[in-house]
Chain A
């Protein structure tokens, strides 16, 4: 459910950025990204149908189960897109949102590789697309931030806001999924090595440990990526 909400936000943001882009190469790339995001929305929606949601109930189901913090995360980004702020929009979309999605998909992929190969295959295709999206974000913005250093404080403020909502999203998602770790993979499998993510055995880890590993990975990535393009990571705490 949260994957669809995130991909819908990415679709709205990337399509909005096409018109805000200052050059033809960026417009063309963002148009291909819009197509990618549309495909992601479709495949994750289909997965929801496969799990039993009726097409007529799709919108109400999403409204009922969307993580409210993820909704706020999307609002912060889409506000910048509405103002046609290209630099802030690309940092929010291709570095913060895609950077978060990249780590979330990798964690889900690690967990699903053995137990749900179909979903893992879907995720690996999505991860391949995300590589291009974060690559565009870093390369294009790395150059633009050098040209417009006066944009830095505003972009950093947006990053702090988005990070706050992202951490709250993770917290609520893992807290809501209150079942013990073995419920995720069937029976406890102490004798078998379970799937691992960042050195954490996903089959045995508690929800708190998983939230900690994911948050730490995403924040470390943010810090490194933002540093590379000349922005300073702003902690929301």
Chain B
């Protein structure tokens, strides 16, 4: 087994990129709206470019695939988050 973090940067799989469309989320200024969407509850499956804010339960979206160690910002609740991998899942943790 190889640890992707141990591989040289050039050998790592490039991040997928995503086109973000409007989702009807209107709680932040217009230019930032496509970066967020409402969470639809426990059955809502997150994409590889999405993370759930544990504070306000809004889904944060990125134009690139998210990975452990990435930092994201939740504008609706003003929380700074860092992504960590737990039990094979990406979880957002608040940075105080």
Contacts and interface: CB of A to CB of B under 8 A. Distances in A.
Same complex for A and B? Answer yes
Contacts of A179: none
30 contacts: A128-B76, A131-B76, A131-B77, A132-B76, A132-B77, A134-B55, A134-B56, A135-B55, A135-B56, A135-B74, A135-B76, A135-B77, A135-B78, A136-B78, A138-B79, A138-B94, A138-B96, A139-B78, A139-B79, A139-B80, A142-B96, A143-B96, A146-B96, A198-B42, A199-B41, A199-B42, A224-B54, A228-B54, A228-B94, A229-B96
B60 interface: no
A131 B96 contact: no
B58 interface: yes
Interface size of A as a range? 10 to 19
Nearest to A145: B96
Contacts of B77: 131-132, 134-135
A198 B44 CA distance: 12
A19 B79 CA distance: 24
Interface in A160-202: 198-199
Given A128-B27, A135-B77, A135-B79, 18 more contacts: A128-B76, A131-B58, A131-B76, A135-B55, A135-B74, A136-B78, A138-B55, A139-B78, A139-B79, A139-B94, A142-B94, A142-B96, A146-B96, A198-B41, A199-B41, A199-B42, A224-B54, A225-B55
A26 B27 CA distance: 22
Interface size of B as a range? 10 to 19
A131 B54 contact: no
Contacts of B74: 135
Interface in A220-234: 224-225, 228-229
A199 B76 CA distance: 25
Chain B CB within 10 Å, residue with most, of A135, A136, A228, A229:
A135
Nearest to B28: A128
Interface string B31-48: 000000000011000000
